[in-house]
Structure 1
Amino acid sequence: MAFLQIKNLSFSYPKTEARALQSVNLEIKEGELILVCGVSGCGKSTLLRHIKREITPHGRKRGTVLYRGLEIEKLDRKIAASEIGFVMQDPETQLVTDTVWHELAFGLENLGLSTSEIRRKVAEMASFFGIDGWFRKSVDELSGGQKQLLNLASVMAMQPKLLILDEPTAQLDPIAAQDFLATIAKINRDLAVTVILTEHRLEEVFLMADRIVVMEKGKIVCFDTPEQTAKLLADRKAQQTIFKGLPSAIRIYSEIRLGNDCPLSVRDGRKWLDEFMTPVGRVFNDPVNDQAQKQKPVIKAEEIWFKYAKDGNDILRGFSLKAYSGEILCVLGGNGTGKTTMLGVISGLLKQYRGKVEISGKRIETFQAKELYRNNIALLPQNPRALFVCDTVLGDLKEAATILRLDNDSIRTEIDRIAKELRITQFFERHPYDLSCGEQQKVALAKLLLLEPIIVLLDEPTKGLDAESKEELGIILKRLCSKEVAMVIVTHDIEFAAEYADQCAMMFDGDIVSEGKPNEFFAGNNFYTTAANRMARGIFPDAVTCEDVIELCKISV
């Protein structure tokens, strides 16, 4: 008997004819670690939510999901709650109490355990996950990485047999993401917990998995070992959209095709480069953007100090920043370093207690609200749901477009243009909350673009997006730059920043500590760099993208 079995599962969301899942069949063995991957909207999150009864989406369903031979719907409530754990993409949405210790105890209390048993399990989980140092803190004081680790510990306190994770590292910085995934591997290995997770960051998880599920348009197109999956997906003609999200070593090898074995990891990729390539010195010299250096910055922040409470700690500490029209500035840094707060201050949503912010040479406090946000500044927050106010995607887009003061025909033409560009036309009659996180990001971005801003501030815009959608987003942002729009992007997505940023900056302890062009900024870093750079270090020292490495490989062979 399979530990988890899915039989002919099909599903459609309300008001849609298209199927989010189409005749899905899966059998998963106990103790396996299964990676589910595919482009945004392929059905990954919908599939995972059908395994957790309490969050199964509303819609038309056919087929069955069996856990240890029993249909999910017929499981005892206590077993369904405790034995099947679920960790969501956004850590904020899963926290239900105000303190760390209470969050750890909350699920156990609902299971009706005794006080002594709750204390023992909470102490065990706090020690295992290294939470004892911030055990009595308020959850509001935690970084994004700490909140996600707390969510995982709270689920594990109930001793689940099956752990499901939906894009768990989407809001984590590279170091926190590596630590989190290492913890997942340890749980799977040491506690024999069956793990099913979805991820767009495949560099770390590809080799962790026992088997990989590849989904496309609601169907499973591959379910095999990492090695066999890599062989199938390396054929770009067969699976071009999925190929773009594969680990760097696989993508680079598939272009060069030297040797018999395709490397899967950074380590294997480095050995492959050492064997077949001749080292090449520095060749990428980014020309200085003289135009950007000569013109006045459209955003200028000087010596900004900010804290949320009078008696609280400073979040921004002498922070300064300049952004120019026609330039993409990507700000990176760990969770809790002040990046989101920085966006709040330069957008006018938060007020600093020292320093000044200028927009197009004018102090930000002299703007009226309508003047500041109409055809001027647009901010995409970390949680795109904050922008949704209507029951349908089309309603939300119309709500934004009315600000343009156009007639109805012109409004619909503008909506159709942007929707086609972002490939969200098929979602018009869907409720925004029924969309995947990546699809919600696209809809939220469409709302902002309808405002025709000259300054775009984006907080984690690639969160939940597959590689192809990231490429589409990058092209759109570059097109906006050609229209002299200034962009400041807060991101943990190093690969995206390396490919599309004109300038990169590192934030630490509430201030910018370094800044530079992508090649000089990422080359030589240990953690805040791309997998391609780690793989090619010492052979092609200033290559930071897969395209850089591929270009130099063609020169070297």
Structure 2
Amino acid sequence: MAILAVENLSFTYPDEEECALQAIDFSVEAGEFITIMGQSGCGKSTLLRHLKRELAPHGTKTGNITYQQTNLADLEARTAASEIGFVMQNPENQIITDKVWHELAFGLENLGVDTLTIRRRVAEMASFFGIQKWFRQDTATLSGGQKQLVNLAAVMVMQPKILLLDEPTSQLDPIAAMEFITTLKKLNQELGLTVILIEHRLEDVLPLADRVIVMDKGTIQFDGEPTALLPTLSQLNLLEALPSSMRIFYNLNGTGQPPLTVKEGRTWLSKQAINQTMLPIQEDIKRQPVLEVKGVYFRYDKHADDVLRGLDLTIGEGELFTLLGGNGTGKTTALKVLAGLEKAYRGDVKVFGKKINKYGHNELYREVLGVLPQDPKVLFLEKTVRLDLETMCTSLQLPTDRLQEVVSLLDIAYLLERHPYDLSGGEQQKAALAKLLLLQPKIILLDEPTKGLDVRAKQQLAQILRSLQQQDVTLVIVTHDIEFSAKYSDRCALFFDGIVVSEGMPRTFYSGNNFYTTAAHRISRNQLVNAITPEDVVTLCKS
């Protein structure tokens, strides 16, 4: 018997003509692990929020959702709160209290659970999740991965029967993301927890899923086993969303059941004919330095430890430079110092050969340097995207034709009349980038720009970045997205303990790493020397 059933669900947001959801029908058996995928704006998050009554969006809804044969709207408040858990994309948005132990106890306290039971359940969950060492820490001091683990533990202490997760690994580094997904596997397999997960990172998730639901334009296009995905994703042009092993299999015209995991991909590839084992080494292009960092030290408080410890970095004109590293290592802090938003207490930051503190505010942030923050919402001030952009043009006395040029470049005309907060993650990134491009900066710093983006949105972002590079715009990107970095970077660097510990061109950089490397390289490294993308593997097999 189904634990959850969605029947003919349709939904339209206020003042919108098109349905966000159209005639959605599916049921969920207890203990299933279901992954929902699809391009940004297809309705995934809208659907998931309808399954958690307290988070359902405002608008016009038809159809029915039942939980254990009871209409979701008729559930007792206690049952709805405790038995259906929800983990959000941004861990910052879900943490409420100041201490880890209090965060774990908070939900039970609100349900009026007795103190002894709270202590027992909190102790059990803290032990299960390995939180004991930082049990009494301030939540503000935790890394992104730790915060997301606390969110998950705080939900699990309520003993839910269904766990809903909306891109929970989007802000985690590759190692933290893998650990988080492994924890979900344990919860599903050892506790029988029903899991419904929205995720764009499918390398580690897809092998765990019993079913995959593919959405497009508010409808379900596929509902079945992961190994049967290829025909549907081919029709929707979403093949690049698949794990590297499946993409390699498809592009080499594999027959039979496609491999899902790195291990299965390695086994399958070992049986294929390989014509060449190594791709040509890329030439290092000499570029004029535009951003130079020499011996920079920074701390947030004079009594605190240094976050940056002698950082050295040189970035050339027109370069796309990606900076990778674990959560909490200081990457975002480094970006803030590069942008002049934080001031180093030792060392120099130079922009076009001039110390950053010698620039006036208007001089630096108009036509020299722009910053796209991790949360693009902070850049929006008005009720529509059009009004936001027009207000900026008016207040800064920008040429009237510049707005149309930016709208055309980013292809966002269809977003202009919408509220910025109603946009999907990818749409918000594009609208926020439009505000920056109005200023025509020569250097753009981006913090996690691919966070929450589907494969098609990433391709569009990459095309935009390439067009900017052709105009000699320099791009510095802090990211956890290894696949994006490997495919589009001119140079990559690994950030650790407040400094850059290694850097190089993508093929050399990723071929030398074990964990901070691509799935394609992990699949092929015993047979191929420097293949780092599925396209590289296919090229070497076919050449």
**Shared fold per TM-score greater than 0.5:** yes
Work out whether 1:415 is the aligned partner of 2:403.
yes
Work out whether 1:439 is the aligned partner of 2:427.
yes
The match for 1:374 is 366
Amino acid at match of 1:63: G
Contact 1:331 1:505 in 2 (8 A): yes
Shift of 1:114: 1.0
Work out whether 1:392 is the aligned partner of 2:384.
yes
The match for 1:343 is 335
Contact 1:280 1:539 in 2 (8 A): no
Contact 1:441 1:463 in 2 (8 A): no
Shift of 1:430: 2.1
Contact 2:210 2:225 in 1 (8 A): yes
Q: Which string of whole-angstrom CA distances, capped at 9 and with x for unpartnered residues, describes residues 272-309 of structure 1?
A: 1110123733322101102x1xx2x1111111111111
Q: Which string of whole-angstrom CA distances, capped at 9 and with x for unpartnered residues, describes residues 136-176 of structure 1?
A: 11111100000000000001110111100000000000000
The match for 1:80 is 80
Aligned counterpart in structure 2 of residue 239 of structure 1, from 236, 241, 245: 236
Shift of 1:442: 2.0
Gaps of 5+ in 1: none
Work out whether 1:316 is the aligned partner of 2:313.
no
Amino acid at match of 2:357: E
Q: What is the alpha-carbon root mean square deviation over aligned residues?
A: 1.4
Structure 1 SS opposite 2:229? helix
Contact 1:49 1:56 in 2 (8 A): yes
1:175-254 map, 5 Å? 175-233=175-233, 236=234, 238-240=235-237, 242-254=238-250
Contact 2:221 2:232 in 1 (8 A): no
- Change beyond 3 A, Cα 1:184–1:420: farther
Structure 1 SS opposite 2:270? helix
Shift of 1:425: 2.6
The match for 2:441 is 453
The match for 1:553 is 541
Contact 1:279 1:539 in 2 (8 A): no
Structure 1 SS opposite 2:227? helix
Query: Which stretch shows the higher mean deviation, 170-179 or 380-389?
Result: 380-389
Q: For the residues of structure 1 that align with 2:15 and 2:231, how far apart are their CA atoms?
A: 38
Contact 1:279 1:538 in 2 (8 A): no
- Change beyond 3 A, Cα 1:213–1:421: farther
Q: For the residues of structure 1 that align with 2:409 and 2:59, how far apart are their CA atoms?
A: 28
Contact 2:4 2:27 in 1 (8 A): yes
The match for 1:305 is 297
Q: TM-score, normalised by structure 1?
A: 0.95
- Change beyond 3 A, Cα 1:133–1:543: same
Aligned counterpart in structure 1 of residue 351 of structure 2, from 344, 347, 359: 359
- Change beyond 3 A, Cα 1:24–1:424: farther
Amino acid at match of 2:80: A
Amino acid at match of 1:210: D
Shift of 1:416: 4.0
Q: For the residues of structure 2 that align with 1:229 and 1:281, how far apart are their CA atoms?
A: 30
Structure 2 SS opposite 1:535? helix
Q: Which string of whole-angstrom CA distances, capped at 9 and with x for unpartnered residues, describes residues 108-136 of structure 1?
A: 11111111111111111111101110011
Shift of 1:539: 1.4
Contact 1:400 1:451 in 2 (8 A): no
Amino acid at match of 1:131: I
Shift of 1:255: 1.4
Contact 2:82 2:159 in 1 (8 A): yes
Shift of 1:231: 4.8
Contact 2:36 2:212 in 1 (8 A): yes
Q: Which string of whole-angstrom CA distances, capped at 9 and with x for unpartnered residues, describes residues 165-189 of structure 1?
A: 0000000000000000000011111
Aligned counterpart in structure 2 of residue 267 of structure 1, from 250, 259, 263: 263
Amino acid at match of 1:432: P
Contact 1:460 1:492 in 2 (8 A): yes
Amino acid at match of 2:246: I
Structure 1 SS opposite 2:204? helix
Q: For the residues of structure 2 that align with 1:513 and 1:399, how far apart are their CA atoms?
A: 43
- Change beyond 3 A, Cα 1:279–1:538: farther
Amino acid at match of 1:97: T
The match for 1:153 is 153
The match for 1:59 is 59
Gaps of 5+ in 2: none
The match for 2:49 is 49
Contact 2:276 2:541 in 1 (8 A): no
Q: Which string of whole-angstrom CA distances, capped at 9 and with x for unpartnered residues, describes residues 441-488 of structure 1?
A: 222122212221101000000001111111111111111111111111
Work out whether 1:99 is the aligned partner of 2:99.
yes
Q: For the residues of structure 2 that align with 1:323 and 1:14, how far apart are their CA atoms?
A: 46
Structure 1 SS opposite 2:207? coil
Work out whether 1:169 is the aligned partner of 2:180.
no
Query: Which stretch shows the higher mean deviation, 57-66 or 505-514?
Result: 57-66
Amino acid at match of 2:360: Q
Contact 1:250 1:262 in 2 (8 A): yes
Aligned counterpart in structure 2 of residue 543 of structure 1, from 525, 531, 534: 531
Contact 1:14 1:430 in 2 (8 A): no
Amino acid at match of 2:74: K
Q: How many residues are aligned here?
A: 543
Q: For the residues of structure 2 that align with 1:396 and 1:114, how far apart are their CA atoms?
A: 50
- Change beyond 3 A, Cα 1:213–1:471: same
Q: For the residues of structure 2 that align with 1:546 and 1:404, how far apart are their CA atoms?
A: 45
Contact 1:457 1:487 in 2 (8 A): yes
Contact 2:277 2:540 in 1 (8 A): no
Query: Which stretch shows the higher mean deviation, 185-194 or 428-437?
Result: 428-437
Q: For the residues of structure 2 that align with 1:218 and 1:232, how far apart are their CA atoms?
A: 16
Percentage of pairs with the same residue: 52
Q: Which string of whole-angstrom CA distances, capped at 9 and with x for unpartnered residues, describes residues 320-373 of structure 1?
A: 111111100100000011000001101011011111111111111111111111
Structure 1 SS opposite 2:65? strand
Structure 2 SS opposite 1:36? strand
Q: For the residues of structure 1 that align with 2:188 and 2:354, how far apart are their CA atoms?
A: 55
Query: Which stretch shows the higher mean deviation, 166-175 or 478-487?
Result: 478-487
Q: Which string of whole-angstrom CA distances, capped at 9 and with x for unpartnered residues, describes residues 463-518 of structure 1?
A: 01111111111111111111111111000000000011000000000000001000
